[in-house]
């Protein structure tokens, strides 16, 4: 079992929750954390996808069908995790969608992107965070952003707005945690580069030459989390 990380939250027996955990970066993170000996809960949509992911991860894994756009679903997720494993030490708010958008596209589409990508992270942090702080243990909240939330290229404004919001929220979250007396929880903004996942490369079967695998990206993320970096800006090729 890998014991190369020094952060206590990344040690055997701790508890991790990964939203968007049935595929891509979420699944890669869940597998890596389980390999470190953590008890893992994955949350995503689709019972069959979750069952396949749970089998791929192996070990003591809880899989919960969860629509992160609904606050009540995240409250249910927290209750199920606490009942099964106890308190949470690593929260990775990773669920996201990118259906495409334009400035004048349908408001329902915009709302869905913001509800999943931004409010899924806000609500997840608000629902799990207080218990993590109250536990008094070293713990981590990792929020998945995007370079598009920083560079805001034209072409998909709803996604850009949602990920820019994740950046600003996570910065505010870390400030709150750092200024809370005796708080041992830290927030990190995870900014992947060009990663070969179903979200980033739908329909492609061969990895583009410049892309990283999800596993490479997660390894880099955990190394930088362990080093204490707030901004985890992943390079690519």
Burial 144-159 (b: 16+ CB within 10 A, else e): bbbbbbbebeeebbbb
Q: Is 104 exposed, middle or buried (0-12, 13-18, 19+ CB in 10 A)?
A: exposed
Q: Does the annotation mark 231 as catalytic?
A: no
* Pairing between β-strand 90-93 and β-strand 61-65 as defined by DSSP bridges: unpaired
Count Cβ atoms below 10 Å from residue 35 Cβ, excluding itself.
Answer: 14
Run of H or E residues at 200: none
Distance (Å, whole) CA 90 – CA 174: 15
The residue annotated as part of the active site, out of 119, 159, 190, 220, is 159
Q: Which residues are catalytic?
A: 159
């Amino acid at each position: 079992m890998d014991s190369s990380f020094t952060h206590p939250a990344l040690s055997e027996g701790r508890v991790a929750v990964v939203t968007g955990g049935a595929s891509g970066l979420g699944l890669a993170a869940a597998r890596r954390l389980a390999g470190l000996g953590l008890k893992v809960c994955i949350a995503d949509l689709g019972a069959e996808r979750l069952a396949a992911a749970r089998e791929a991860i192996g070990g003591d894994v809880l899989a919960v069908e969860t629509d992160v756009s609904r606050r009540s679903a995240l409250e249910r997720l927290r209750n199920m995790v606490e009942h099964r494993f106890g308190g949470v030490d690593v929260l990775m708010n990773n669920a996201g969608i990118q259906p495409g958008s334009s400035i004048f596209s349908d408001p329902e589409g915009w709302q869905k992107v913001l509800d999943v990508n931004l409010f899924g992270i806000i609500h997840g942090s608000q629902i799990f965070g207080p218990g993590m702080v109250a536990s008094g243990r070293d713990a981590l909240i990792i929020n998945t952003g995007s370079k598009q939330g920083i560079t805001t290229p034209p072409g998909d404004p709803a996604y850009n707005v949602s990920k820019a919001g994740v950046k600003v929220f996570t910065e505010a979250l870390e400030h709150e945690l750092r200024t809370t007396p005796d708080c041992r929880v830290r927030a990190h903004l995870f900014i992947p580069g060009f990663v070969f996942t179903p979200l980033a490369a739908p329909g492609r079967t061969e990895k583009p030459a410049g892309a990283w695998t999800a596993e490479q990206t997660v390894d880099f993320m955990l190394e930088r989390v362990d080093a204490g970096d707030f901004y985890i800006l992943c390079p690519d090729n």
